[in-house]
Structure 1
Amino acid sequence: MSQHSLLIWLDANINESEDDYKAALHELRCIIASVATFTDVRECLDFLSKIKNKKVVMIVSGSLGQQIIPEIQEWPQLESVYVFCGNQSIHEKWARQIPKVRGVHTQIDPILKALQIDHENCARAMIAISFNGIDTLFKYAQLLKETLLEIEDDDQKSIKQFIHYCHLQDDIAEDQISKVESEYHCHTPIWWYTAPYFMNSMLNYGLRLMDVDVIINMRFFIRDLNQRIEKLYHEQQSSNKIMAPFQLFRGQALSVGDFDKMKQTKGGFVSFNTFLSASRNSQVSFENFARSSAIHNPNLVGILFVINIDPSLCSTLSTSFADVTNEGFFEDCEEEILFTMHTVFRIDQIQHIDDDDTDRLWQVDLTLTGNDDHDLNALTGHIRQGFHWATGWLRIASILMALGESSKAEQLYNSLLEVASSDEDRANYNHQLGSVYYNMNKYSKALSSYERSLEIRKVALPPNHPDLATSYNSIGNVYRNKGDNSQALSWYQQAIEIRKLALPANHPDLATSYSNIGSTYEDMGDYSTALSWFEQSLEIRKVALSADHSDLPATYDNIGAVYYKMGEHTKALSWYEKALKAREKVLVPDHSDIATSYNNIGVLYYSIGEYSKALSFLEKAHEIDRKALPPNHPHIAQSKKNIENIKKKL
């Protein structure tokens, strides 16, 4: 069960004042925080019918179950049913006809054990998995992990903030919140993560959905848990506890969509975007978590991951892992190994497992990657370069923007503004919030946020400080996109005046200002003036930037676009091809910037009537965009439209 599950216990003989029922309810609430009890069928049905956004597990007596379960078995909110009765053989007859009935029992203990396995299955299914070349999140997962772990704050203050946040939620048991509040430092983070409380499911939920509130409030636990695993890892390595190559096993369910992605990525990489647990026990991993998932849910595929690890390569690993047998909440029967967050594996083999009861069982062989993996380094190196300017929460918000999660970035900046304690932070957060609105095309809101930031900076900073130029430049961007080119030029000129005084002559920020002015003149149709400004920008960037910097091919594109609009297609094509060549040297083949080059060249060929060439480049651009960008990104719709237009011409 996840944090967002509910358990209903229906039995005419429930008496919560009796010790046996009290003890059973306590055990149940350790697994599922929200438990509702009923003795009346109609009241139970009325309650269940109003549940829309939670999955429900039911424990029901034999007689009432026979009465109610056939009526509600198709209700989507009902996940599974356990029959708790006095005569197992009688009630198994009708229960066998209903797929959602997971078992008929005369004792509570087998139900508790089954619920615990279901809880673990749900927790595993909640772990976000991303694949290189398909999921945008994959590219940013490692940087996201590094950034979260770099953020330092007051531990006690963070725990108090977390407890306050938990009290505001309606699906966390108060006794569990109180336990965390009073006993957090009495146990290790591994104990809390493996305990049947809400910490595990809340964290997995937050990281799966990139829920800003959860990530902010659980940042201390993410850091503590990661550090504890790393500490155990080094202790166990130094004591030679794990030396020979070995295998670990992890059973879990995947959606059909995720499994299809995995098959497409064979030979590539998969990232588990939270803390990953695996076991030395293949049988438990297979039966409890792979096979049971496939049998009980026709919409899921049961996967047995076989993870190959060579400890002799541990010095090059980017991930730590530790045997947590002695620190877990339960007496370990699964021989658990826990990995640090965002572990990356190479997908080696995928093979079907024959089974009499289901055809949806597969074994997937994985190998843990190291820092010396060239392919993985190529994927992540340029991502880091793009975020070198930001640290901490600013970088987290920027990653959210890159993932197409503008509303979550907006939420994060507003949360940070509420606790900002300095003029510098307030100015920076307002400015970045303006950038979020700018990218959402909400120009009035962007302007308001930029202006708030500027007012703070005018008071707090000297008159020629570079941050003031940044504000002026951003305000100019808003006016240019609103079509007010004269206002845009005015703000850009103010930015240039400060940058000429405050920065070296070949500073990249000056190149940015020149480029922005060039774009404004391009918008005004003054192409020769635009070309002059772009060329000045290029001269600085050639000197100031490394040969593999993304701003260089972007400038080539700007110059190519001006020539294209001037009707000089040969020159335009030359600059576009120069941009493509520069990108192909340093970027992975499916990078979105390469798609930009393909698109530019394709559109040019289309405009001069070379439709076959145009189609070839635009289809390549669309294929990359489809993999590299969020599904709702405007580039995807535009490239699809361009392709449709060309096909009409052929």
Structure 2
Amino acid sequence: MAALSSIPQCQNLETFTLVWLDSLVNISQENIDTKVLLRNAINNLQAFDDSDKCVEYIQLVSEERIVLIVSGRLGREVVPRIHQLPHLIAIYVYCTDKKRNEEWANNYMKIKDVIVDLTTLITRIQSDQSKRNEYKIDEPLPISFFHTKTHQKKSSRINNDNFIHLQVLIDCLSRMKSTLKDKNELISLCENEYNGNQTELNVIHEFEEKYSEDRAIWWFTRESFVCRMLNKAFQVINIDLLYHLHFFIRDIREQLIENKCSSIIHTYRAQLMSNEEIQALKDSIGELISINTFLPTIPNHQRALTILENSDISHDLKRVLFEINADPQLSELRPFSNITSLNYFTGIEVILFMAGTIFRPTDIHDENGILVIQMEVCSDNHKTMKIILENMKAECYNGETNLLSFSNILLKMKRFGDSEKYYNRVLHDMPNDYHSVAHCYQGLGNVAMEKHDYDLSLEWYQKALDTNRLVLRSEDPEIASGYSIMADAYVKKGTFNEAYELYTQALQIWIRALGKDHPKVATCYKNMACAYKMEERYSEALEYFTKALAIREKKSSDHQLDVAKLHNYIADIYMSLNDMDQALKHYNSALVCLTKIYSSKHIDVLLIIRNIGLCYETLGDLNQALAHFEKVALKRRQLLLSDHSGVIQISDDIERVSSKLSNIAEF
């Protein structure tokens, strides 16, 4: 079960950490009392009396925003060692000799003040932190990227997968139903996290007694514990914390929908960003990005500029102004709303965008030292992205959005420990829901499969099948799915006879229940063919790949990628059989399908062109082989570094064929 203890005790659930380094920090009663007061500004306070341990800790927590209090003596030693760390954003020197310590402190721009009075120190830190919490421009902005034009790069594929996973995760979190138990678990977690911080505990108890779904945005804008925890959870994708907060995410979304904007808006967001973050946005002009947290913006341009101009900067972070155009009439938009009437702070106009809102950066330019990034809000219906999104939702949701869906998404994200934990929570919470129990067993089997523990995966799959048999007919397609997934595990294990028997049982049920041309039948044929190919039983592999292809080609417009893959599989087998004419035929068919989906630079397109070249080389048509290799080389050299394995490989191909042509010319 996903218990509260699943969040480590030492884990900071907010963005900021206050570090205090002083040889007397844990000895002086005055300092001990001061720590209690400082936690009102930044809850997570870490005190050190050893310089090396302090430096080690600061270097370790790179996902935090660190505010440091340091004594004058230790500051002279420590500050030069850590000042360059980008996540260290502010330093306060607390000492007895202000003038002497200002002499060295003036060399470090992150040192905000040299202070000799304890009351002044507390007041200054509370004041500065209040500004950080209000504007949030110091906090990391979690952004994911979807590149529609560069699928061929491995990094782009990883970014695109991350983008899709987070879109579906946020969608699931914002739709899951919640219970009183969910809220009570959050309260217990917070009471533990803020133990000893009486000011925040009072707010937590107020939240427990007075929170209601129609006050979610009021609580979000209050800058309370729940807002700070939510922002941190989105920044680092803290799965347990996001789950505990899912009712809050859902309630904010519902309020945004109820109060959504009705006309085009122009709004602004002030932000401090690193050079690396800025470069990623420059590389995404014309592409799609998702901001994976709730995004408060202000429609007052001058106020946004003032916030930036009054912000402290360093060589680590640059001033950025997002200019956002949003048209609420576009279809399939994440909601956004003018929340002025819902705001905790009265009289402040704010436009709030739903977490996961998709934007398209259109221009980046410098205006008087401020980097202006112009963006427009986009819908979820971009053709390529929409297909992938809908497929993943169909695989994960099983017709509804619940804790089981959440567990399935975590599996897709390869968060195996998290998915296992939440599958077990479903089993604990719904022991009599046979449908959910069977899906959980299958999910746990999938986790074991991903971990290459095939015996364990088969145990879970068998439990899923046995559970389904209690409530389903023996001819139900779900039973066939159970046979098929067990067969997949046997293939991975290398026990093929058991796999073929189970595939055959699945096929018989699917054909009777769904018809001989159903996509599930085609997939089963393909899986059987892949198993035969692994055994080098090429005749059987060709038979089943051909059967799968015949089904897919009947609706080829809906299955272009599947058709392309099947032609490629068949071509590979003919290559193994040294039948180059048939291999060429199917590689060319695969190429025709792929070029309808991908650009000419896509990695899969280039792989097929290279394979066509290899066929021509084997046939002795060296000029055709060279032409195909050079076409691949031209594209790969545009995209990859010269020492990349793909560039080296195609260069070797060209050198080999060129050498053969030279030898022929000599004769």
Q: TM-score range by the shorter chain?
A: 0.7 to 0.9
Instruction: Choose which of 101, 105, 112 in structure 2 pairs with 1:102.
Output: 112
Alignment equivalent of 2:463, drawn from 423, 442, 452: 452
Give 1:69 shift.
1.9
Structure 1 residues 568 and 141, CA, compared in 2 at 3 Å: closer, same or farther?
same
Structure 1 position 435, deviation (Å):
2.5
Q: Give 1:169 deviation, angstroms.
A: 5.1
Tell me if structure 2 keeps the 8 A contact 1:161–1:217: yes
Shifted more, 532-541 versus 391-400: the winner is: 391-400
Tell me, yes or no, if structure 1 residue 645 matches structure 2 residue 649: yes
Whole-Å Cα distance in 2 between the matches of residues 588 and 394 of structure 1? 34
1:508 pairs with 519, 539, 561, which one?
519
Given residue 126 of structure 2, which amino acid in structure 1 is its aligned partner? L
Q: Secondary structure at the match of 1:207?
A: helix
SS of equivalent residue, structure 1 residue 189: helix
Matched residue, 1:158? 182
TM-superposed CA distance for 1:149, in Å, is 2.9
Distance 1:567 1:338, change over 3 A: same
Check if 1:325 corresponds to 2:349.
no
Structure 1 Cα separation of the partners of residues 455 and 637 of structure 2:
32
Name the CA shift for 1:613/1:534 in 2 (closer, same or farther; >3 Å): same
Secondary structure of 2:522's aligned partner = helix
> Cα distance 1:343–1:13, how it changes in 2: closer, same or farther (>3 A)?
closer
**Runs of 5+ in structure 2 lacking a partner?**
1-11, 148-155, 618-624, 656-667
- Tell me how far apart the structure 2 counterparts of residues 417 and 554 of structure 1 sit (CA, whole Å): 38
Question: Given the alignment, which residue of 190, 193, 201 partners 2:217?
Answer: 190
User: Given the superposition, is the C-alpha separation of residues 124 and 247 from structure 1 closer, same or farther in structure 2, using an over 3 Å criterion?
Assistant: farther
Picking from 306, 313, 318, the partner of 2:323 is 306
Map of 1:32 onto structure 2: 42
Aligned letter for 2:78? Answer: I
RMSD: 4.0
| Matching residue of 1:630 | none
Contact 1:606 1:646 in 2 (8 A): no
The structural deviation recorded for 1:428 is 0.6
After TM superposition, the structure 1 = structure 2 runs for residues 194-205 of structure 1, keeping only pairs within 5 Å, are 194-205=221-232
SS in 1 for 2:273: strand
Q: Does 1:118 align with 2:123?
A: no
For 1:59 and 1:283, the matched residues in 2 are separated by 34
Task: Name which of structure 1's ranges 342-351 and 390-399 shifts more when overlaid on structure 2.
Answer: 390-399
Quick one: distance in 2 between partners of 1:554 and 1:399? Answer: 25
SS at structure 1 position matched to 2:68:
strand
Distance in 1, matches of 2:507 and 2:25, equals: 80
Change (3 A) 1:619 1:496: farther
Secondary structure at the aligned position of 1:551 is classed as helix
Question: Is 1:498 equivalent to 2:509 in the alignment?
Answer: yes
Tell me how far 1:263 sits from its aligned partner. Answer: 1.0
The answer to whether residue 74 in structure 2 is matched with residue 68 in structure 1 is: yes
Distance in 2 separating the partners of 1:620 and 1:418: 53
Counterparts of residues 516-555 of structure 1 (less than 5 Å): 516-543=527-554, 547-548=558-559, 550-555=561-566
After superposition, residues 100-499 of structure 1 pair within 5 angstroms as: 100-104=110-114, 107=120, 108-119=122-133, 125-133=139-147, 134=156, 135-136=159-160, 137-154=162-179, 156-166=180-190, 175=201, 177-185=204-212, 188-233=215-260, 237=262, 243=263, 246-289=265-308, 292=311, 295-296=313-314, 298-309=315-326, 314=329, 316=331, 318-331=333-346, 335-355=349-369, 361-370=370-379, 376-391=382-397, 392=401, 393=403, 395-397=405-407, 399-400=409-410, 402-403=412-413, 405-406=415-416, 408-421=418-431, 422-499=433-510
Deviations 1:14-42 (A, max 9, x none): 99999xx88x955x5444222467xxxx8
Check conservation: 1:247, 1:308, Cα contact below 8 A: yes
Structure 1: unaligned runs, 5 residues or longer = 238-242, 356-360, 627-635
SS of alignment partner, residue 390 of structure 1: helix
- C-alpha distance in 1 between matches for 2:25 and 2:518: 79
1:557 is matched with which residue: 548, 565, 568? 568
Q: Report the CA distance shift for 1:2/1:288 in structure 2 as closer, same or farther (over 3 A).
A: farther
CA–CA separation in structure 2 for the residues paired with 1:68 and 1:453: 61
Q: Give the equivalent residue in structure 2 for 1:574.
A: 585
Quote the Cα distance in structure 2 between the aligned partners of 1:67 and 1:496.
Answer: 77
Q: In the TM superposition, what whole-angstrom CA distance separates every residue of 1:106-133 from its partner, at most 9, and x where no partner exists?
A: 7454532311233457676333112221
Corresponding residue number in structure 2 for 1:633: none
TM-score (norm 1): 0.80
Letter of the 1:502 counterpart: A
Distance in 2, Cα, partners of 1:315 & 1:83:
52
Cα deviation 1:542-583 (Å, max 9, x = unaligned) = 446753464333333332232232222332233233234334
The CA deviation at 1:278 is: 0.9
- The alpha carbon displacement at 1:338 in A equals 0.8
Q: Is the contact between residue 518 and residue 533 of structure 1 (CA under 8 Å) also seen in structure 2?
A: yes
Displacement of 1:326: 3.8
Q: Distance in 2 between matches of 1:116 and 1:623?
A: 49
- Determine helix, strand or coil for the equivalent of 1:500: helix
Shift of 1:343: 1.5
> Does the 8 Å contact 1:121/1:289 carry over to 2?
no
Checking the alignment, whether the CA contact within 8 Å between 1:8 and 1:56 is kept in structure 2 is yes
Q: Distance in 1 between matches of 2:600 and 2:43?
A: 44
CA distance in 2 between counterparts of 1:499 and 1:188 reads 50
8 A contact 1:80–1:101 mirrored in 2? yes
Give the number of equivalent residue pairs: 601
Identity %: 23
Equivalent residue, structure 1, for 2:665: none
1:468-513 deviation line (CA, Å, top 9, x unaligned): 2112111111222232222221221222233234332322222222
Q: Is the 8 A contact 2:636 2:646 kept in 1?
A: no
Which piece of structure 1 moves more, 500-509 or 472-481? 500-509
User: Residues 198 and 377 from structure 1, CA distance in 2 versus in 1: closer, same or farther, beyond 3 angstroms?
Assistant: farther
- Letter aligned with residue 323 of structure 1: N
Once the two structures are overlaid, the 10-residue window that deviates more, 501-510 or 413-422, is: 413-422
Return closer, same or farther for 1:49/1:145 CA change in 2, 3 Å cut-off.
closer
CA 1:448–1:546: 2 relative to 1, 3 Å: farther
C-alpha distance in 2 between matches for 1:560 and 1:44: 66
TM-score for both structures, normalised by structure 2: 0.78
CA change 1:2–1:13 in 2 (3 A) is: closer
Distance change in 2, residues 1:323/1:288 (3 Å): same
Secondary structure of the residue that 2:396 maps to in structure 1? coil
**In the alignment, is the contact (CA less than 8 A) between 1:253 and 1:303 conserved in 2?**
yes
User: Secondary structure of the equivalent of 1:301?
Assistant: strand
